Amino acid sequence: MPFGLAVGDVTSLTTAVTSYSDALAVTDEPSTRTRVSVAARDMSKRSLIALMRNLYKKVNAANLAADKREALGLPPVDVEPSPIPAPAMKPGISIVKRDENIVSIQLFDPSDPNTRARPLGVSGAAVFSFIGEEAPTTEAGWTFQGNTTRMRIDVSFPASVTPGSKIWLTAFFFNPRAMSGPAATPVSTYMPGGAAMAA
């Protein structure tokens, strides 16, 4: 059948609809409305609803085209959205400001550095820091500074960090499913108060 139903399904539905219509007509008439006729009507209604639900499952299982679902008065099937992949780009990082023990950084999409909005498919970034002359080449050694949904972040360092110390910052983007992309190329600067100038 073009709608995913067999001839027997149509016959059963026709019979159930007729049975309920007849029972409804009896209870609509005051002279024939009794407790027995009302009970019969309700039973016919329940049987019709159960059958229609079963037929609805059959129609859905048939994966009908949109025009056939529309002809039956059924809503279109929601198409499950494609999963958002892990971010493919490394964040760009620029040092915006240094104020006492706080370093402000700006993350950006390297393919569109003038835009301050998060790239498409990115829900946030994880930020890391390191204090030392050379940035670590592996994950070991980096200090996790936190996750953020903003592209401009203030990174706070302990007051115990010596002024003039060289600090490094990196980050990676992650998607709504917490899948992470590649880490940014680390950038460096110096803690305010020392003799060294910003890198």
| Nearest-angstrom CA–CA distance, 38 and 24 | 8
Q: What is the pLDDT of residues 161-185, one digit of tens each?
A: 999 999 999 999 999 989 999 999 9
Query: Using an 8 Å Cβ cutoff, are 27 and 42 in contact?
Result: no
Taking 60 as the threshold, does the pLDDT of residue 79 lie above it? no
Query: Using an 8 Å Cβ cutoff, are 151 and 92 in contact?
Result: no
Q: What percent of the chain has pLDDT over 90?
A: 56
Write down the pLDDT at residue 198.
Answer: 36
Taking 80 as the threshold, does the pLDDT of residue 81 lie above it? no
Give the containing element (helix H, strand E) for 176.
none
pTM for the model stands at: 0.58
| Nearest-angstrom CA–CA distance, 172 and 41 | 65
Give the containing element (helix H, strand E) for 103.
strand 102-108
φ/ψ (deg, to 5) at 134: -125, 135
The vertex-38 CA angle with 37 and 44, nearest 5°, equals 90
Write down the pLDDT at residue 197.
Answer: 37
Q: What is the pLDDT of residues 89-142, one digit of tens each?
A: 999 999 999 988 899 999 999 999 888 899 999 999 999 999 999 999 888 889
Q: What is the DSSP string of 130-142?
A: EESSS--SSSTT-
Taking 60 as the threshold, does the pLDDT of residue 195 lie above it? no
Query: Using an 8 Å Cβ cutoff, are 44 and 23 in contact?
Result: yes
